[in-house]
Amino acid sequence: MKVFGLAIHGGAGNIQKEYMTPELERAYEEKLSEALEVGYKLLASGAPSLNVAEETIKVLEDSPLFNAGKGSVFNHQGKIEMDAAIMNGENLTAGAVAGVKNIKNPITLARKVLDISDHVFLIGEGAEQFAKDNSIDFEDDRYFFDHKRWEQFQKIRDTEATQLDHSQSNVDILENNKFGTVGAVALDQQGNLASGSSTGGVTNKKHGRVGDSPVIGSGLYANHQCAVSSTGHGEYFLRNVVAYDIVKSIELSSLSLKEVCENTINKKLADIGGLGGVIAIDKNGLVAMPFNTPGMYRAFKTSNEEGCVRMYDY
Amino acid sequence: MKVFGLAIHGGAGNIQKEYMTPELERAYEEKLSEALEVGYKLLASGAPSLNVAEETIKVLEDSPLFNAGKGSVFNHQGKIEMDAAIMNGENLTAGAVAGVKNIKNPITLARKVLDISDHVFLIGEGAEQFAKDNSIDFEDDRYFFDHKRWEQFQKIRDTEATQLDHSQSNVDILENNKFGTVGAVALDQQGNLASGSSTGGVTNKKHGRVGDSPVIGSGLYANHQCAVSSTGHGEYFLRNVVAYDIVKSIELSSLSLKEVCENTINKKLADIGGLGGVIAIDKNGLVAMPFNTPGMYRAFKTSNEEGCVRMYDY
């Protein structure tokens, strides 16, 4: 049997043990494990990596814990605008959507663009019309943010964090934890790679801001050699074309996936002040998950390695 | 004095001598020459490449000959939605806008995003609000398309083309000629590079489609080594991250700018069926302008080379 596996992330940011409660830590670990198992089982049963990227991201989008789908943050107008993209490394097909409202699973909309549209990248009302034309699930505003649960988390964290560090703004910590995206990369038994990403953007964003998540090359990329999905301060990822920087370095250099990913995140991106991380898997099932923030929600599992579920810098 | 120079394009497509009239040919040559001279004079006077990219593209946006700004094509709803982006190779800052209506010069809006926004990429109504907040010029619908002039061109071409080739659809030829974007790349006397692109999209586009033009990495890129601007079938440029593919190849390979650009356009892009071209300039003032379509409106001039204004495959 050929090697297969996947890696997922739930965002990078100021994720540190001292700001966590045991309950919250467990909630994140459980949801990451659940998404990982959904994807791994699909891969083990022979499913294509493209389906695995979509299905895994759907699990994370459906949770209020992550800034994507249901857990998306509010923009300046108190609305939720989401972005997502997915790419098939087998044939370099891709689908991306940006600035879409009330779509239950933006990753599924991106997948529909990949599958049936002549276009790659749809935005705003046009993308929502495409969703309606193709029977994609919508949800009303109430679905997208569980205020009670969020306020609960906030209170728990405030109590916990103020006891530990009075110099930190707990709201900042909270928001930093929601800074980012969710993403998945997968290698299937046929040797094909795929990647996907989905985000609710940044809190209080104005002016129709789009980050790197729906941008092929910056937020994600997949070809025959590797698949990458990014998370972090989107503007810096756009300016550095992070995902393709990694993919092209793999093509042209003799460095390993780990070395290439670390160069891009800890040198190239850090040089211009960019914070965040990536998950990547190559055609041999090797995984890299570097980040230059205090933490990143992440997990991986392959047919060769037991893998792990992590969030801190250890 | 250090070498300086620029290259511009006005779109790639089915541009062939037999479908042209002498009048139309002259109109294209004159407008390309005018834009080139505007940019070259600025560079000669010591202006930064970023200003040159913007000012050169404005000349092309203000002409009805090209599919950008005033000459933008209608989408499916009979509206004009434009995209543009600009990047400063000196510090990797960038600004991009997509799906904006009634903006006189989308490249100037992208420049404003680069200059004063914390964000890189703004879309739709949010981007228009940003434009209003920052006193960017708007124009009403009538400004954007000179129907009389366009019908005139169409009639001239129909007459001309049907005499030469009855098998071709003249409407297709016409539309193919408007397929694409305008763009500029420049190297200034300080040794800094910049690139820009602007487009009115594809005729009859639906669903808020965005091509590669506003996408950093696909439609354009600039760093310390070279500046690239793309034009062609946007979906294929997005899937191949064309501009950054060239930039990263320059960084990691020992090939020349011409070799790298030709590899990307004639091999990598052509392999998946992508049509179009790029203009590129490197830090030594060397220029490459490869395309895999019958023609591309293009011109270049440097302090080392007299340059040229061309549209056919010779």
The one-letter amino acid code at B127 reads A
Which active-site residues of A does the annotation give?
A: 181
Nearest chain A residue to B75 by CA distance is A126
Distance from CA of B261 to the nearest CA of A (A): 15
| pLDDT (average), residues B132-140 | 97
Interface of A with B (CB under 8 A): 87, 91-94, 98-99, 117-127, 129-130, 205-211, 215-218, 221, 234-235, 238-241, 244-245, 248-249, 252-253, 272
Nearest Cα to A235, choosing from A185, A194, A201?
A201
Q: What is the pLDDT of residue A311?
A: 96
Please give the Cα distance from A235 to A210 (Å, whole number).
Answer: 9
What residues of A are in contact with residue B205 (Cβ under 8 Å)? 119
| Cβ partners under 8 Å of residue B77, min gap 6 | none
A94 contacts A114 by C-beta, under 8 angstroms: yes
A15 contacts A297 by C-beta, under 8 angstroms: yes
DSSP SS3 for A61: helix
Sequence ranges of the domains in chain B: 5-286
Q: Rounded mean pLDDT of chain B?
A: 89
What residues of B are in contact with residue A253 (Cβ under 8 Å)? 252
| Cβ partners under 8 Å of residue B43, min gap 6 | B4, B5, B6, B49, B52, B186, B187, B188, B189, B303
What residues of B are in contact with residue A245 (Cβ under 8 Å)? 244, 248
Please give the Cα distance from B131 to A144 (Å, whole number).
Answer: 30
Judged against a pLDDT cut of 50, whether residue B164 lies above it is answered with no
- Looking at chain A, how many residues does it have? 314
Nearest chain A residue to B89 by CA distance is A239
**Interval B253-281: pLDDT, tens:** 999 999 999 999 999 999 999 999 999 99
- For B122, the closest of A127, A209, A216 (CB atoms) is A209
Nearest Cα to A121, choosing from B68, B216, B85, B212?
B212
| Cβ partners under 8 Å of residue A51, min gap 6 | A42
Beta-strand pair A82-88/A287-288 = unpaired
CATH number belonging to domain A5-286: 3.60.20.30
Positive or negative: CA dihedral B63, B76, B126, A201: negative
Q: What is the pLDDT of residue A154?
A: 56
The one-letter amino acid code at A117 reads S
Q: In this complex, do A245 and B249 lie within 8 Å of one another by their Cβ atoms?
A: no
Q: What is the pLDDT of residue B207?
A: 84
B179 contacts B71 by C-beta, under 8 angstroms: no
| Cβ partners under 8 Å of residue A156, min gap 6 | A21, A23, A24
pLDDT in tens, chain A (314 residues): 799 999 999 999 888 998 888 998 999 999 999 999 999 999 999 999 999 999 999 999 999 899 999 988 777 777 789 999 999 999 999 999 999 999 999 999 999 999 999 999 999 999 999 999 999 999 998 898 666 545 645 555 555 433 333 334 444 444 444 556 999 999 999 999 999 999 997 766 778 999 999 999 999 999 999 999 999 999 999 999 999 999 999 999 999 999 999 999 999 999 999 999 999 999 999 999 999 999 999 999 999 999 999 999 99
The one-letter amino acid code at A209 reads R
Please give the Cα distance from B99 to B210 (Å, whole number).
Answer: 7
Rg (CA), chain B: 18
**Interval B39-95: pLDDT, tens:** 999 999 999 999 999 999 999 999 989 999 998 877 777 778 999 999 999 999 999
Q: Is B181 a catalytic residue?
A: yes
Q: What is the pLDDT of residue B19?
A: 83
Q: What is the pLDDT of residue A106?
A: 98
Beta-strand pair A82-88/A93-100 = antiparallel
**Interval B108-130: pLDDT, tens:** 999 999 999 999 999 999 999 99
C-alpha separations of B176 from A84, A166, B80 in Å: 31, 63, 18
Per the DSSP assignment, residues forming a β-bridge with A220 are A216, A229
- For B244, the closest of A129, A206, A241 (CB atoms) is A241
Please give the Cα distance from A85 to A93 (Å, whole number).
Answer: 11
What residues of A are in contact with residue B272 (Cβ under 8 Å)? 91-92
Q: What is the pLDDT of residue A257?
A: 98
Q: In this complex, do B121 and A248 lie within 8 Å of one another by their Cβ atoms?
A: no
Judged against a pLDDT cut of 70, whether residue B171 lies above it is answered with no
DSSP letters along B206-231, please? -TTEE-STTSBTTTEEE-SSEEEEEE
